[in-house]
């Protein structure tokens, strides 16, 4: 028994050392460019580094809090902010007598940031990239038959041809494969047919589905009503412009901005309570697989920490301290092909079968 315990201890130390050496770039790392002129090269470099630290810190922190939270973080002094920097790598640099130009890759201590935000009661946004399925339904006039799969659905064509690079989320126009095509049509989409949408959600592996009902708004503009399948009230958004394919392209970022904001508002946790903890058993195919999976979990904004209890025989037992609910974590993990299931007193984690 003693030898077995020593084996597990050694294995855990091995995991930690390998994990530290093979840490992958994550959402708490930012690359910044600086170009500073001062009285001399040393002063320019000093000013440049401070500017780079602040720019990287605010860019990274901005992904985890609201505008109100950013006001607090922006007020930190350069000395206070330096405590959050865990690593700074010079990608390239040039100097002259009075100028410093560089590209830096800066990583902040995510645990320290989360702890500070908790202590200051700053709102934390659970912002992880998700697959968002949109169902673009179109009518020229309100009394017309709605279009979904038809070739003359200009709204659907716009979504298929234009992605939104400004969003952290991945927006996908519902593909017309056999299951989706047979399960859903425009009428079922507009009346939020539960059976049809449940079939689509199961097939697509997400409940993040939004029906987008677009109709021309008089002689100019487009009126789009957003119906969330995963709960919430519909919202109508008006987009101005002439009747042309460009009008539909123009509407896409306005719709994604609204949906992103809705998801963010649903994700805010004011942090008045301590993080909850869940016990998880992961079916691992080996040490390399576990390290990659552990990094994926740690990089999620609602995860405070991951603590390994035991490893052996293809399984890892560990605990996750998280903000929010296990359901939110489960949804985020699905985007990384990881399936988290509640088994009563504990959870199991497995790779999704594709």
* 31-45 pLDDT, tens digit each: 999 999 999 989 999
Overall average pLDDT of the 110-131 stretch: 76
Q: Does one domain contain both 47 and 173?
A: no
Q: Does one domain contain both 155 and 261?
A: yes
* 24, part of any domain: no
Q: Which one of 66, 90, 123 terminates a domain?
A: 123
Count of domains for the chain: 3
Neighbouring residues of 73: CB distance < 8 A, sequence distance ≥ 6: 57, 58, 61, 65, 122
* 231-268 pLDDT, tens digit each: 678 899 999 988 888 899 999 999 998 888 777 666 55
Q: Does one domain contain both 146 and 249?
A: yes
Q: Does one domain contain both 167 and 233?
A: yes
Q: Does one domain contain both 68 and 159?
A: no
Q: Does one domain contain both 219 and 291?
A: no
Q: Does one domain contain both 143 and 181?
A: yes
Q: Which residue has the higher pLDDT, 338 or 274?
A: 338
Here the CATH number for the domain that contains residue 183 is 3.40.50
Q: Does one domain contain both 279 and 251?
A: no
Q: Identify the pLDDT of residue 67.
A: 78
* 170, part of any domain: yes
Measured CA distances, 243 to 161, 180, 237, 249 (Å)? 18, 29, 16, 11
Q: Does one domain contain both 92 and 208?
A: no
Planar angle of CA 90, 91, 96, nearest 5 degrees? 70
* 225, part of any domain: yes
> Rounded distance, CA 339 to CA 343, Å?
13
Which of 57, 74, 60, 2 lies closest to 26 in space, CA to CA?
60
Q: Does one domain contain both 59 and 153?
A: no
Q: What residues make up the domain containing 41?
A: 29-123
Neighbouring residues of 224: CB distance < 8 A, sequence distance ≥ 6: 212, 213, 214, 236, 237, 238, 239, 251, 255
Q: Range with the lowest mean pLDDT among 100-114, 119-133, 152-166, 209-223?
A: 119-133
Which of 131, 202, 212, 136 lies closest to 172 in space, CA to CA?
131
Q: Which one of 250, 267, 284 terminates a domain?
A: 267
Cα atoms found within 13 Å of the Cα of residue 114, Cβ hemisphere only:
20
Neighbouring residues of 21: CB distance < 8 A, sequence distance ≥ 6: none
Q: Which one of 97, 123, 149 terminates a domain?
A: 123
0.85 exceeded by pTM: no
């Amino acid at each position: 028994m003693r030898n077995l315990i020593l084996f597990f201890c050694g294995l855990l130390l091995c995991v930690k050392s390998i994990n530290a050496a093979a840490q992958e770039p994550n959402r708490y790392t930012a690359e910044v460019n600086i170009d500073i002129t001062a009285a001399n090269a040393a002063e320019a470099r000093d000013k440049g580094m401070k500017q780079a630290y602040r720019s990287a810190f605010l860019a990274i922190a901005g992904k985890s809090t609201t505008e109100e939270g950013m006001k607090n973080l922006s007020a930190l002094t350069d000395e206070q902010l330096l405590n959050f920097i865990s690593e700074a790598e010079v990608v390239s640099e040039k100097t002259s007598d009075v100028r410093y130009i560089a590209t830096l890759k800066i990583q902040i201590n995510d645990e320290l940031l989360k702890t500070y935000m908790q202590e200051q009661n700053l709102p934390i946004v659970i912002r992880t990239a998700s697959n968002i399925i949109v169902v673009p339904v179109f009518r020229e006039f309100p009394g017309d038959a709605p279009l979904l799969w038809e070739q003359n659905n200009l709204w659907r064509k716009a979504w298929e041809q234009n992605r939104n690079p400004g969003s952290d989320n991945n927006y996908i126009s519902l593909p017309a494969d056999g299951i989706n095509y047979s399960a859903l049509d425009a009428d079922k989409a507009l009346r939020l047919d539960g059976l049809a949408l449940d079939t689509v959600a199961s097939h697509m592996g997400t409940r993040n589905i939004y029906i987008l009902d677009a109709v021309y708004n008089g002689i100019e503009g487009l009126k789009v009503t957003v119906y969330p399948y995963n709960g919430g009230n519909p919202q109508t958004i008006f987009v101005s412009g002439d009747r042309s394919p460009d009008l539909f392209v123009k509407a896409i970022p306005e719709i994604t901005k609204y949906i992103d904001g809705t998801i963010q508002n649903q994700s805010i946790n004011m942090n008045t309570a301590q993080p909850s903890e869940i016990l998880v058993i992961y079916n691992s195919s080996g040490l390399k697989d576990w390290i990659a999976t552990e990094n994926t979990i740690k990089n999620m904004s609602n995860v405070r920490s991951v603590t390994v209890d035991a490893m052996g025989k293809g399984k890892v037992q560990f605990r996750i301290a998280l903000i929010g609910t296990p359901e939110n974590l489960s949804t985020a993990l699905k985007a990384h092909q990881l399936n988290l299931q509640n088994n009563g007193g504990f959870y199991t984690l497995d790779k999704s079968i594709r």
